[in-house]
A and B are shown apart, each in its own frame.
Chain A
């Protein structure tokens, strides 16, 4: 059994207006960061999961995403799995 570090990134789907992203982009402009584009504000969730194999972790994360971590009407997500040292 190994412990894995899991990082889940959640943001609004493309085409969904992200009012926070818009506000942050405007703020960046007002500070002179003129090259900034398409700012999106999302969520970053970390957790540790114990499992025999990485495949099990994937299943577990996707199940969690489906059940409550992500609302597919407005959000999309990605994740990273690393073996904990």
Chain B
């Protein structure tokens, strides 16, 4: 399986994802410069975190104009698997592949810490190897992760089970107390209606080896492998 990792000026988690793909799940990683537009042999796109274009104008706003983003848009529209992590999630929102938008964290701070997440939907290509309602432990690192959308959109994504992960307590209780950034309904990650595009603020690639303190994130990469090849 070949994972395509777009690299924008300012991306800084591309190599971390490449490491997990190549050294941990032993698949192929192909780095795609933002000026590229050829996704011919790619099976799944993972848009990395970082600060594409210095977060100028809005997070992800400039990145959506890159040639690679246009190619990713077409790839996703045709049903290709696309996952966006942190800034990757912000880019997917700006591209319009996922509904809603990001605001600065409620407390205005850059928050870098491990959080607990509840798996709300385990029937997507990105979450199929998790148990339903499983609580996982994965770090966040962002200043703009305060997810928002209008009421109608919120109703729609909740009803369609598009919320994949929510911030929660270690026991799985979903409450404002365990919401690190002010996101509406404690939302940490959502997918599109078709389920082939997924964005989340937490960093699964930073929780995919024992040395990193958690391997809960690895299941996300393995879920993709399972759906694409059946060999996870």
- A residues with CB within 8 A of B: 12, 16-17, 19-20, 23, 43, 68-69, 71, 73-74
Contacts and interface: CB of A to CB of B under 8 A. Distances in A.
Is the contact region of chain A dominated by helix, strand, or loop, or is it mixed? mixed
Given A12-B103, A17-B103, A19-B146, 14 more contacts: A16-B103, A17-B182, A19-B105, A19-B106, A20-B104, A20-B108, A68-B64, A71-B101, A73-B101, A73-B148, A73-B149, A73-B150, A74-B101, A74-B103
B108 to A, nearest CB: 5
Interface of B: 57-58, 61-62, 64-65, 94, 100-101, 103-108, 146, 148-150, 182
A43 B146 CA distance: 19
Contacts of B149: 73
Nearest to B102: A74
11 contacts: A12-B103, A19-B103, A19-B105, A19-B107, A20-B108, A43-B57, A68-B61, A68-B64, A73-B101, A73-B149, A74-B103
Is the contact region of chain B dominated by helix, strand, or loop, or is it mixed? loop
A68 B107 contact: no
B58 A71 contact: yes
B108 A23 contact: yes
Contacts of B65: 68
A17 B108 CA distance: 12
A19 B64 CA distance: 25
Given A16-B148, A17-B182, A71 B61 contact: yes
